[in-house]
Amino acid sequence: MGSIFSFEDGFLFLRSIQLLGIIVIVSIDVYQCYITMLTEIVEKPGLIRSGQVSLKVNGNPVQLNLLPWVSLLDAIRDHAGLTGTKKGCDHGQCGACTVICDGKRIVSCLTLAVMKDGSEITTIEGVAPEGDLHPLQKAFIEHDAFQCGYCTPGQICSAIGMMKEGKAKSREEVKELMSGNLCRCGANTNIIDAIMEVQNQDAHE
Amino acid sequence: MEASQKQVGQPLSRLEGQLKVTGTAKYSGDYQVPGLLYGYVINSTITKGKITRLDTGRAKAVPGIVEVFTYENRPSLAWFDLQYADMDAPPGSPFRPLQDEEILYNGQPIGLVVAESFELARYGATLVEVECEEEAFETDLRKEASKARSPKIGMATMLKPLPPRPKGKFEKAYQESPAQVSAEYYHGTEHHNPLELFATTTIYEGDGKLTIYDKTQGTINSQLYVSNIFGLKYKDVRVISPYVGGAFGSALRPQYQLFLSVMAALELKQSVLVTLDRQQMFTFGHRPPTIQQTRFSADMDGKVTAMNHLAIGETSRFEDYTEVVVNWSHMLYPAANTLMQYKLVELDVYSPLDMRSPGGSTGMHAIESTMDELAYKTKIDPLQLRLINYSEDDVSLNRPYSSKELRQCYLQGAERFGWDKRSPEPRSMRRGNKLVGYGMATGIWEANQLPAKADAILTTDGKLRVNSAVTDIGTGTLTVMTQIAADELGMKIEDVEFLYGDSKKPFAPIQGGSFTVSTVGSAVKVAGAALKKKLFSIAKKMKDSVFSKADLKEVVFEDSRIFLRSDRSKSVSFLEIIEANGGKPIKVSKFSVPSLLKQKKYSRATHSAAFVEVEVDEQLGIVNVTRAITAVAAGKIINPKTARSQILGGMIWGISKALREETIQDFNLGKYMNQNLAEYHIPVHADIHELDVIFVEENDEIVNALGVKGVGEIGLVAMPPAIANAIYHATGKRINQLPIHFDSLL
Amino acid sequence: MNNFDYLKAGDIQDAIGKSGSCTDSSYIGGGTNLLDLMKYDLAHPTTLIDINHAGTQDAVTETENGGLRLSAFATNADTAWHPLIEEKYPLLSKAILAGASAQIRNMATNGGNLLQRTRCYYFYDANVPCNKREPGSGCSAILGYNRIMAILGTSEHCIAVFPSDMCIALAALEATVNVEGPNGPRSIVFADFHRLPGDTPELDNNLLPGEIITSIDLPPQGFSDNYSYLKLRDRNSYAFALVSVATGLELDGDIIRNARIALGGVAHKPWRVPEAEEFLVGKAASEENFAQAADIILRGATGYQYNDFKIELAKRAIIRNGMMALHPETQLPGALPSA
């Protein structure tokens, strides 16, 4: 019995439908038409149009010639060559790609570079003047707030954005508002310790 | 203590810290070279069967798509299983990507689209047409449990001993004991999910040479794998991995993106980056689902009389992956009658793969939950019950421990936690509308050492450079090795450079099993010692040498100088020695081999005791681990800061295992349903509350010359049972399936 | 992900015009759900029409009747943290802040929040049957692992749930959705905006082709004295609700004058049962009365094995959230259960 992958699962499901006693006709044809239709659409010639995207990244103007389907994350990494921003899921589920866009922390994987034409982006490479470290970067080192280091750029950019928002005061609030940044090594307590230290310093200034 | 012992024991911050907080540390997918091609993998969407038709024409017709590789057009490769076997391969036939039309599991890689951009490659993958003939499959361990059989034995069994032989008469002793407890446990599949996506950048250097940036826990493991399969000379394949974005076991074996990246680079004679997406991160190794049954009995004084522990684990149809699940209880508790059994069930899945504390975290949950039940049955405090059954020796193998400070773990942990404030009855403690529970458990993990080699070089500027192929997966290897080397030569940290993560450097085994510091650290130490000897012999031969009559025992190495112990006004600097060596660097290379004869008379293990407080919302079941302390005895702690982080990480993994993470399987479809980080729940910051670590002092002169035992695994093993026990204490409900869903407490 | 064309709309009419002149186009606002779906090959628009500049990004304006108007183009974060929302509609603020992550709330728009698609595992896997994705292919969830699925308003074709938090509060607040389309503007009361799956699970809502959400109106009553949003999920943050409850109460002493209760995570749309709210009017704000209201709300609920627990959990959550609404000052970050 030969068919495209997905159809087989349809048969499997038919077994389940029978159990329910519901008569449903699983229309393989509908599915097949859909697939055919889809490929026709996407292959329509002349559709691929690249365009100029201007960004200001870490204070530097960057002109990129990009196809519309390039995410801001891939534009930063593959086109602007700044690989400090990390891809951990590409679906907004981990926070590793967090950058500061026009003053706000966002996940750069879930937006298109073309949508951010004209925006100012700060990545981990630009959070402190060259040769200097941001207080959060220092605190992360001191508190051992990372192990593998992969989530770190996102954690730091996110914490900078969070402190700018000014909504998190208590440790519990910081934990909640930093929960969009996963850490698989389990450096969580050290990360929050580092952030609280900088936040408390700022509060005293 | 010698004056030169300055660095070991210091809470030094990670030496690569600045690179990691500034985004300059480069991971395997961060190397951009001109003309780099991007590969995107196509995976099977059926679980078992055969590919009957493949059409790559539409994909290849798209400008910018360079090639589509499938089993039909892949190059001819190595024939024998042995050539595909890596350092961590279990007995069986390793999976071969793009081997033929056979589909062995859902998500199997069946093609690679290579294009000029990531987006084009990903798009191309949607244009490849695949037709399949599907065959019946089975992925449900519980349904197939009756088919469990004994595992095959192979090389891997050496590090993963099978269960010890039965002792005494279990059945009789169990039946005759006044206190009996039996329970069944189920753990589902888990995936490592390091935050870094698996990526390999193969740089095609021309003249048959490859430089490969691979996500791996063993640069030499990847090098051998690539060389063997693609018929390349070892010296022509260089694997570099200085920064690894977490691995937790997932990179112990070379994964398919390495194979595909190398294959494409060799065929296209261009550099190729293959990065897996998060969904594809669920299409190779995983922690296997496991069924366990325990039957423990005791007399009314709490002495354990009999223990039976059976585990049935999942494996693939092509390899017998095993774990040490059932050996631990008898290493801890000296029952006279034991019966330990371990079996496997073959299913249509990819081979399982070691995942942080493999086997131990599975087995100890069952063992320590059963002990907790025994405590209630005998009306003895759970901590007291452990102390009653405390054994200085490893009774399972009738030999002493090289060191065992578990008793101190229990006592110091209990003290700091405030265990004495626990009221014995379940549901007897509360805080507002929350039930409060205290739980504790024991942890144990093996302390192994493997052979490794290191180079030590005194460079012309009088600095020390130490080389090893070992990786640093976030454990702090770089920092710790630098500390060991600095102390060995009596140098400052800033004068010592540890170079690693490169297969061109001296041999190191894969990084895992908590054996890296004991293995590579020992190599660094012996290389350092050999270098000292060499430096001294040069110093001795110097004109009018102050050491002319001295031998090595009579000098000390400090501040980059050699001093005469009896007269410290007499010394020679390393720079003077270099000068005496004709201005040339001084190099030694040394293999460290465990002293097996000495070690085999002893069992060697790390121990821990975890104490946990949970709050359970009485009405809604929501659980929070509000407080946890783990006291660890792991020999000498080289760096208390990074070691503490390892234990904290392990504890958070324990919270995750007990309460959060699970791979959801649909057995009708034969596939994993939550292949993403939105629904594969690892803890968020808001899940993690107060955690504390105690390192108990433990001196061990047998385990290795450094006296170190490793801290990668031990932080995890005791946490899941301690949490489950605390939940029982809070609610009176014993949930033996992990993760514990809050709704099971309604 | 397929390739597509990208167009920027200058204003609403421009967007509608562009939409009319392309086949298979899609509007894009924050993009946090659409791009996710496109990367999984679940949505395949051939043209994206960027509407971020088609309307005002000022989150809130006051309306003549004493209510507020939320711009559909403003972000969730700007809305949740707007002083007027925090002051007059804290229930909405808390619900928004219980959703997704801070980063995503900085991107996601209010209009887009209403249009989120389900997180059903089977919908998200392009290679298994799903009537919502491929009408007629079957529902894999009914006999599959359905822990996260619906218990109310399901059909034999679909048991998916609507994942929004913000919309649960909007339902409780009886908001109105203003849309603009090829046939001009219209307003849709919130209860009529989302649909139940019935025979057409592929349709999540009653928006017509080409229509754009322009704003959301909140009536004057914001229940700012007694409100609570409770979200129960598998981790403390950054996870979708298994059950969530938005409760607003108007009290006279301890007697309920007006009550609103909406449930999330249990159905294909925010779930409200006016009968239960009417039952509470004139009664004391007590666990017993909330329990009776909960029974009314959960009437007809059906579990599908792995989600059976949601019936009891939803009842308990309604009771608890009713009591939490008496002490809104105890609300915890992340809408966790509090005192």
Listing from the earlier edge strand, what are the strands of the sheet with B109-115?
Answer: B65-69, B109-115, B37-43, B272-275, B199-206, B209-214, B237-240
The chains found to touch C (3+ Cβ pairs under 8 angstroms) are A, B
Burial class (CB in 10 A: 0-12, 13-18, 19+), B387: middle
CA distances, B7 to each of B479, B480, B492, B637 (Å) = 10, 9, 8, 11
Residue the block writes with tokens 């049972």 = B721
The span from the CA of B378 to the CA of B304, in Å, is 11
Paired tokens of A144: 């051992």
The span from the CA of C290 to the CA of A195, in Å, is 41
Which domains are delineated in chain A?
A: 5-42 (no CATH), 135-204 (1.10.150.120)
Query: Would residue C14 count as lying in a domain?
Result: yes
Determine the residue type at B700. Answer: D
Angle at alpha carbon of residue C175, lines to C169 and C180, rounded to 5°: 125
Chain B residues touching A69 at Cβ < 8 A: 119, 123
Contact (CB<8Å) A16/C236:
no
Query: Which pLDDT does position A22 carry in this prediction?
Result: 30
* Secondary structure (DSSP) of B445-487: EE-----EEEEEEE-TTS-EEEE-----SSS-HHHHHHHHHHH
Paired tokens of C153: 């308003």
The span from the CA of B349 to the CA of B287, in Å, is 12
Query: Which pLDDT does position B392 carry in this prediction?
Result: 97
Query: Would residue C90 count as lying in a domain?
Result: no
Query: Would residue C113 count as lying in a domain?
Result: no
Query: Which pLDDT does position A205 carry in this prediction?
Result: 61
Rg (C-alpha) for chain A, rounded Å, is: 23
Query: Which pLDDT does position A204 carry in this prediction?
Result: 66
**Backbone φ and ψ of B485, nearest 5°:** -65, -40
Residues sharing a CB contact under 8 Å with residue A192, sequence separation 6 or more, in sequence order: A171, A174, A175, A178, B685, B688
Query: Which pLDDT does position C301 carry in this prediction?
Result: 98
Residue the block writes with tokens 């006004």 = B569
* Distance from the first to the final alpha carbon of chain B: 57
**Backbone φ and ψ of C65, nearest 5°:** -80, 10
Angle at alpha carbon of residue B416, lines to B413 and B417, rounded to 5°: 80
* Secondary structure (DSSP) of B626-673: EEEEEEEE-B--S-HHHHHHHHHHHHHHHHHHHHT----EETTTTEES
User: Domain of C17: which CATH number?
Assistant: 3.30.43.10
Residue the block writes with tokens 């489950």 = B724
Contact (CB<8Å) A13/C32:
no
Write C278-282 long-range contacts (CB < 8 A, 24+): C280/C256, C281/C256, C281/C257, C282/C255, C282/C256, C282/C257
Domains: count for chain C:
2
Contact (CB<8Å) A68/C81:
no
- The shortest C-alpha distance from C268 to chain A (Å) reads 21
Query: Which pLDDT does position A48 carry in this prediction?
Result: 54
Contact (CB<8Å) A115/C237:
no
Of the candidates B396, B395, B414, B398, the one whose C-alpha atom is nearest the C-alpha of residue B406 is: B414
Chain A residues touching C107 at Cβ < 8 A: 106-107, 110-111
- The shortest C-alpha distance from A55 to chain B (Å) reads 20
Which positions of chain A have pLDDT values less than 50? 1-47
Determine the residue type at C41. Answer: D
Query: Which pLDDT does position B4 carry in this prediction?
Result: 47
Residues sharing a CB contact under 8 Å with residue B297, sequence separation 6 or more, in sequence order: B173, B174, B177, B179, B180, B181, B304, B305, B306, B307
Furthest C-alpha separation in chain B: 85
Query: Would residue C252 count as lying in a domain?
Result: yes
Contact (CB<8Å) A86/B16:
no
Paired tokens of B285: 């190794």
Average pLDDT over residues C77-103: 98
Paired tokens of B215: 């996500």
Q: Options 3.40.50.620, 3.90.1170.50, 3.90.550.10, 3.50.50.60; which CATH number does B37-136+192-282 get?
A: 3.90.1170.50
The DSSP code for C116 is P
Q: Is B445 within 8 Å of B606 (Cβ atoms)?
A: yes
Q: Considering CB atoms only, which of B126, B742, B746 is closest to C2? A: B126
Summarised one tens digit per residue, pLDDT across range B611-645 is: 999 999 999 999 999 999 999 999 999 999 999 99
Q: Is C164 within 8 Å of C264 (Cβ atoms)?
A: yes
The chains found to touch B (3+ Cβ pairs under 8 angstroms) are A, C
Q: Which CATH architecture has domain B145-190+286-448+600-745?
A: 2-Layer Sandwich (3.30)
For testing the chain A interface, which of B10, B12, B19, B20 should be mutated: the one with the most A CBs within 10 Å?
B20
Helices B118-127/A28-42 angle, 10° precision: 150
Residue the block writes with tokens 């990009």 = A66
Q: Considering CB atoms only, which of B21, B58, B131 is closest to A3? A: B131
Q: Is B134 on the interface with C (CB under 8 A)?
A: no
Rg (C-alpha) for chain B, rounded Å, is: 27
Burial class (CB in 10 A: 0-12, 13-18, 19+), B393: middle
The span from the CA of B523 to the CA of C61, in Å, is 70
User: Domain of C287: which CATH number?
Assistant: 3.30.390.50
Query: Which pLDDT does position A95 carry in this prediction?
Result: 98
For testing the chain B interface, which of C36, C124, C321 should be mutated: the one with the most B CBs within 10 Å?
C124
Residue C314 has pLDDT above 60, yes or no: yes
Query: Which pLDDT does position B5 carry in this prediction?
Result: 52
Q: Is C262 within 8 Å of C272 (Cβ atoms)?
A: yes
> What's the ipTM?
0.97
Q: Considering CB atoms only, which of A39, A74, A176 is closest to B58? A: A39
Q: Is B204 helix (H, G, I), strand (E, B) or coil?
A: strand
CB atoms within 10 A of CB B205: 13
Summarised one tens digit per residue, pLDDT across range B560-616 is: 999 999 999 999 999 999 999 999 999 999 999 999 899 999 999 999 999 999 999
- The shortest C-alpha distance from C159 to chain A (Å) reads 14
Chain B residues touching A185 at Cβ < 8 A: 246, 474, 645, 649
Summarised one tens digit per residue, pLDDT across range A81-134 is: 999 999 999 999 999 999 999 999 999 999 999 999 999 999 999 999 999 999
Of the candidates B640, B634, B635, the one whose C-alpha atom is nearest the C-alpha of residue B707 is: B635
Contact (CB<8Å) C236/B122:
no
Q: Is C31 on the interface with A (CB under 8 A)?
A: yes
Q: Is A147 helix (H, G, I), strand (E, B) or coil?
A: coil
B2 HSE (CA, 13 A, CB side): 14
Query: Which pLDDT does position B206 carry in this prediction?
Result: 86
Helices A188-204/A152-165 angle, 10° precision: 40
Query: Which pLDDT does position A39 carry in this prediction?
Result: 37
Residue numbers of the domain that contains C12: 5-50
The DSSP code for C163 is -
Contact (CB<8Å) B132/A67:
no
Q: Is B442 within 8 Å of B733 (Cβ atoms)?
A: no
Give chain B's length.
Answer: 746
Contact (CB<8Å) A20/C333:
no
Query: Would residue C290 count as lying in a domain?
Result: yes
CB atoms within 10 A of CB C63: 14
The 3 state secondary structure assigned to B523-545 is HHHHHHHHHHHHHHHHHHHCCCC
For testing the chain C interface, which of B110, B275, B665, B666 should be mutated: the one with the most C CBs within 10 Å?
B666
Show the DSSP H helices in B342-462 as ranges: 360-378, 382-388, 406-417
The H or E element spanning position B343 is: strand B337-346
Q: Where along chain B do its domains lie?
A: 37-136+192-282, 145-190+286-448+600-745, 450-593
- The shortest C-alpha distance from B499 to chain C (Å) reads 38
B450-593, what's its fold? Aldehyde Oxidoreductase; domain 4 (3.30.365)
Which positions of chain B have pLDDT values less than 70? 1-5
**Backbone φ and ψ of C91, nearest 5°:** -60, -45
Range A136-162 burial, b when 16+ CB lie within 10 A, else e: bbbbbbebbbbbbbbbbbbbbbbbbbb
Summarised one tens digit per residue, pLDDT across range B672-728 is: 999 999 999 999 999 999 999 999 999 999 999 999 999 999 999 999 999 999 999
Query: Would residue C34 count as lying in a domain?
Result: yes
Query: Which pLDDT does position B611 carry in this prediction?
Result: 99
Query: Which pLDDT does position A42 carry in this prediction?
Result: 41
The DSSP code for B517 is I
Residues sharing a CB contact under 8 Å with residue B529, sequence separation 6 or more, in sequence order: B488, B590
**Backbone φ and ψ of B687, nearest 5°:** -85, -15
- The shortest C-alpha distance from B24 to chain A (Å) reads 6
Query: Would residue C176 count as lying in a domain?
Result: no
**One fold for B37-136+192-282 and B145-190+286-448+600-745:** no
What mean pLDDT is reported for chain B?
97
